Each structure stands twice: as structure tokens, then as C-alpha cells.
Structure 1
Amino acid sequence: MTSMLAMHRFKLTGLLIMANTGLLLHLLAGEIKPVAGWDWLDIAGEGGSAILLLTWLGLLLKSRPAGYVTNLLFMGLACLFFSLFMDSVDEFVALPDAVTWDGWLESGPMPIGFILMTLGIFHWHQEQLAINEQMRNRERLFREHRQFDKLTPLGDANYLRTQLQLALGEAADKCQPVSLIMLDMDAFSRINREYGQAEGDRLLQVLTQLLLLNLRQHDLLCRLAGDRFVVILPHTGERQAQILAAELGDAVRSLAYKSSRHGERIELSASVVALMARDDATETLLQRLNIAMARAKQSLTVRYG
């Protein structure tokens, strides 16, 4: 819990500064009301709602990594919290009639918060639909084959070979192309060495979800070994496979992954290659793919070594 919240400490700090700034403005411009003038019903309703929103914020930040959807949900909840917090402060501080900005502080953030929350929930829903569709296929296959990786919800190397053989047979019968993508993380051993194996395992789990979100429903992602993944692309020619491979590489580079220990961003990149089957046997096709990856890794070493 602490490590996940630490990733969002700047968001929480910003919200704390905004809330205290609003409180300070009220104290400077007005006077504290006597206890007899407090409306306890409004205090309980507005203050209790603000506390609940703050609790929701904590649960959100505890359970989600940094990203676009998380930012939308956080900003929406933060606007709603700020609006209700200002309403609560107004119950304790009396402002002169000439002051009008308090109405903007109390009511202005509310509609903005609802809009941001709606956008965040919509994108969250789309995100879950994509993951659920991928996982539904894997749950069915898990019951049938039991050949899945222990760390990620993906098929292992043996399952990859079985499904690739089926895909090649189906492609030959229907005269349809089938392609493969191989993705291998760059300098993954350094992450294990500097941050520990637990961090490396966590990264592989996050990476799995990222790749699933960037694949089509009929694509099949498997973990070949270690930090190396293979995607089977039915009905896909080499040109389209190369486009999809480039998109996966861009997605990895754009991932704002934060370490669980100190919350610092870990820069990521991956070598990605794609090729189309050309009357290959399963092992021959995988061998071609491994050779293409070895050349890509060699080119990376020459460029940065």
C-alpha cells in the first residue's frame, strides 16, 4: 500500500496544497463563526462526503498504477473533494457580503469533477473490456491445456508451440497468412540486478497487461521464456505484423513504470521483430524468429555498446 501511494505522492501533495490554500483564503477574508452558528447537519453532510471522497482517492491511488485513466479519475475525485471541502469550510467561517469568489470555489470544481470522472470511468470500462476479452480466452484455454506460465496469465513455451502448429495448419487450409511477433526487453537483467527479482516479476506482470491492451482480440500472446514474449497473429501479413510490432515497441517505451521501492521511473525499451510464416514447420519458424531477434539485439549492442 505504502509503495503504491508513494508513486502518486505529487498528486496528493498538490491536492493538500489546494485545500489548505482555500482554507487560508477563507480565514484571511472572514471570521470564524461562533459554535452556536454552526449548522451541524450541513457539517455532517458536506464534511462526511468530503471524507468519503478522500477515502475513495486513497483506494484509487492504492490500487492503480500511474497513467491516463488514473489521472482522469484522480482529477475528477479531487475536484469533487475540493468543492465539498470548501462547502465545509464555509460552515465555520463567515465571509463579508462583498466576497463573491467563495461561490466559485464551492461550486465551480463540481461540474468539472463530474465530467472528468465520467471520462475516467468510460476509459476504465474500455480498458477492462479489452483485458476481460483476452483473459476470457485464456481461462478457457487454461481449463483445456493447463500449459500456462506461473508468473503471468499467459501460455508458456509448450503452449505456444501447440497453438502455433494449429495456426499454421489452419492458415494452410484457408490460404491465409499468419505472422509472429517476438518482443524481448532491453537490459532486463539490469532491472533484476539493481531493483531485485521481485521488481522484475512485477514489471513482467505490468508488461503483460500492457501488451494485451495493445493487441487485437484474435491475437495470442505467450511468454516464451524470461522477458521474451511471442504473439501469434492469424490472418496477418508481414507488413501489418511489422506495424503492430512497432506499436508494441512504442507502448513499452511510453510506459511510465515506477519502481515499488522509491517510486522513481524506470526507463524501458524492447527489441521487437516480426515475420510471416512461409511454409515453415513450427520449430523452423521459431528458429527464424530467434535469429531475427539475435540480429536486432546485436544491432542494439553495436549502436549503444
Structure 2
Amino acid sequence: MDWLHRWRYACIDNVQKIMRHKIWLTLLGFVFLLLLTLNFSQGELKPPATWVWVDIIGEGASSLCVVIWLLLVLSMRPVGQVTNWFAAGFIGIFASNFQDFLDEWVHLPLPYTWDSWVESLPVGLLALTVAFCLWRKEQGQIDRYLLKRQAIYHNTTALDHTTSLPKFEHLNTQLEYAFAKGKANWQQHALVLVDITPFSEISYRYGGREADRFLVVISELMLLALREEDMLCHLAGDRFAIVMKNVNQTLAQQKADRLKALIDQFYFSIKDSEHGVSAQATMVLVMADNSMKAPDSLLKQAILALSNQHKLVQSNT
């Protein structure tokens, strides 16, 4: 019965999302009732012998599909300008299709021509065209924001469920690939290991969900600071790894120092609380060396350096 609970939860969640757009649901109901009232108050029902069931089923199904599209859009999108244009467009198309459907049942006398206007005017299509233009612009902004994640999502490697970043296995694959391309390419790579605090403190004091949110925010912060060709991985807990490509020692160190300064200046606000915590990064950088006989030597060297860095910090405190 687990599937039944999941289905029930998904239905409740979608209904709650749709109910954020009550104004459009109200308008849809108003258009539905208005067309019914106008047709049956001004016209008369056609004899059953004249009904064309193919047209009735086709136009009725078209109206139902438009309503389903509207509900799907409202369940997926937040309140805003693009959603408003989509909703207005779908309701306009629904009005045209539904009037076509009613024309199969109801005959309006000649003096009434408003039904032809409802059926023919492309108001819904025009609104939907505006919606798609705005959506295209919005999608372009989202694509630019997610540019650094593009290579990640196109990769079939399993992602970490919390941060949506590649895991340890993908890091090994990338290092092996860089090593296999030859010495000249290998020595232009740098590996940075980062431990973020106070992940454990947040988990202990505020719960695992807030600790996971902390990791997500930190990962987004680092992604924004890195170049497109750099790769960020989530290894475990509060530890991240960064593979920098096409860098020398000086450039890699500069980028690592700027990233550490950015993290150290970050203040994480606890949800539904006045409290917050300051983030801090412990970071080491190791350049790839032609003396290494295997790509995993770079990772082992970085892990050892990070361990020594932690011991140094503890001895100073």
C-alpha cells in the first residue's frame, strides 16, 4: 500500500500548488458558467437526430485537454507574470473550444452573433504566444544560472541526493580521464579539498534537514564562484572537492584563496529562527605532478594535506 500513500501525497501536494492560483480557477469557472447560461438562455436545444457525435466527442475532448493543460501549468509554476499569461491563454482557448462544443447541442437564433466572436477571435492564442515569449526569456535566465551545472546533469553519473552534485566516483573518473590525456594536460590540473564548518553543529542543534539546506546553499555559493570548466563534487558530509582545469600553481591558488574568503564571509540564517551561523572553510590545494604514477595519488596527497591542516588548526587553538 506504499504506492497508494505516495499517490495520495502527490495529489494533495499538486492540489495545494494549484490552489495558489485561485483567481484563475475562479475565472475558469466563471467562463464555464457564463457560456452555459448564455447559450441555454438565448438558444434552444437541437433535436437529438441532428447531433454529430464525432464532433461532440472531439470538441469536448479538446476543451477537457485545455483544462488539464491549465491545471498542469498552475501546479508547476509560481504566481507571476509568465504564469498569468499562460493561464489567460489557456482560458481563452478553452472558451473558444467550449463554445464550439456547445454549438453542437444548442442552436442560437440569427440575431445573436457573439458565439462566432468567441469561437473565432484568437485572444487565447495571442495570450499564449506572449506567455511563450516571456517563458523563453525566463528560461534563458535560468539556463545562464545553471550553466555550471549543465555538464553535471548531462552526465549519467549518479548525483548526490542532497546537493545534486557529482559524488566521489565521478571525481575519480575525471582524474583518470585527465591523467590518460598525457603529461602536458595532467600538470594543468589542480585538486582542492574543502571542509565546511559548522555543518556538524547545525545538524546537532537544528536538525538534519537544516544541515542539508546548509550544504545546498554552500554548494550553490561555490558553484557561482567557480569557472564553467571547474568541477565541484560533494564527497561526504561537509567535504567538497574541486577539480580546476587549465591552471598553473599561481592561478589555482588565487582562485582557491578567493573562494575561501567568500565562504568565510558567508552567514547562514537558520530557518524560522533569529539565529544564524558563520561558515568557515578549511582548504588545501594540490597541483597535479608528472611524478605521480597514478591519478589517485593526487587525491591521496590532498587528503593527507587536509588532515595535516586540521591538526595544525587544532594545535593552534
Report the TM-score when normalising by structure 1.
0.55
C-alpha spacing 1:133/1:194, structure 2 compared with 1 (3 Å): same
| Contact 2:234 2:240 (C-alpha < 8 Å) held by counterparts | yes
Tell me which residue corresponds to 1:172: 183
Deviation at 1:148, TM superposition (A): 1.4
CA distance in 1, matches of 2:285, 2:206: 30
In structure 2, give the amino acid aligned to 1:134.
K
How many pairs are equivalent?
181
In structure 1, give the amino acid aligned to 2:298.
L
1:302 aligns with 2:312: no
C-alpha spacing 1:206/1:125, structure 2 compared with 1 (3 Å): farther
Q: Which has the larger radius of gyration?
A: 2
Equivalences for residues 194-209 of structure 1 within 5 A: 194-209=205-220
Among candidates 139, 142, 152, match of residue 153 of structure 2? 139
1:285 aligns with 2:298: yes
Tell me which residue corresponds to 2:241: 230
Equivalences for residues 267-282 of structure 1 within 5 A: 267-279=278-290, 280=292, 281-282=294-295
CA distance in 1, matches of 2:265, 2:140: 20
C-alpha spacing 1:268/1:149, structure 2 compared with 1 (3 Å): same
| Contact 2:235 2:241 (C-alpha < 8 Å) held by counterparts | yes
Deviation at 1:300, TM superposition (A): 1.5
Identity %: 26
| Contact 1:171 1:234 (C-alpha < 8 Å) held by counterparts | no
Equivalences for residues 248-263 of structure 1 within 5 A: 248-263=259-274
In structure 2, give the amino acid aligned to 1:206.
V
Per-residue deviation, residues 189-231 of structure 1 (Å, max 9, x unmatched): 1221111111110000001100000000100111111111111
Q: Secondary structure at the match of 1:260?
A: coil
> Deviation above 3 Å: which 4+ runs of structure 1?
124-131, 173-176
| Contact 2:266 2:279 (C-alpha < 8 Å) held by counterparts | yes
1:157 aligns with 2:182: no
Deviation at 1:250, TM superposition (A): 1.1
CA distance in 2, matches of 1:276, 1:251: 22
CA distance in 2, matches of 1:125, 1:298: 47
5+ residue gaps, structure 1: 1-58, 61-123
Deviation at 1:244, TM superposition (A): 1.3
Deviation at 1:169, TM superposition (A): 2.3
| Contact 1:157 1:223 (C-alpha < 8 Å) held by counterparts | yes
CA distance in 2, matches of 1:267, 1:238: 29
CA distance in 2, matches of 1:125, 1:236: 32
| Contact 2:191 2:244 (C-alpha < 8 Å) held by counterparts | yes
Tell me which residue corresponds to 2:224: 213
- Greater RCO between the two (CA within 8 Å, min separation 6)? 1
| Contact 2:263 2:279 (C-alpha < 8 Å) held by counterparts | yes
Among candidates 202, 206, 229, match of residue 191 of structure 1? 202
C-alpha spacing 1:228/1:175, structure 2 compared with 1 (3 Å): closer
Q: Secondary structure at the match of 2:191?
A: strand
| Contact 1:149 1:155 (C-alpha < 8 Å) held by counterparts | yes
| Contact 2:199 2:214 (C-alpha < 8 Å) held by counterparts | no
C-alpha spacing 1:175/1:251, structure 2 compared with 1 (3 Å): closer
C-alpha spacing 1:236/1:246, structure 2 compared with 1 (3 Å): same
Report the TM-score when normalising by structure 2.
0.53
C-alpha spacing 1:208/1:171, structure 2 compared with 1 (3 Å): farther
| Contact 2:198 2:277 (C-alpha < 8 Å) held by counterparts | no
CA distance in 2, matches of 1:221, 1:237: 18
In structure 1, give the amino acid aligned to 2:212.
D
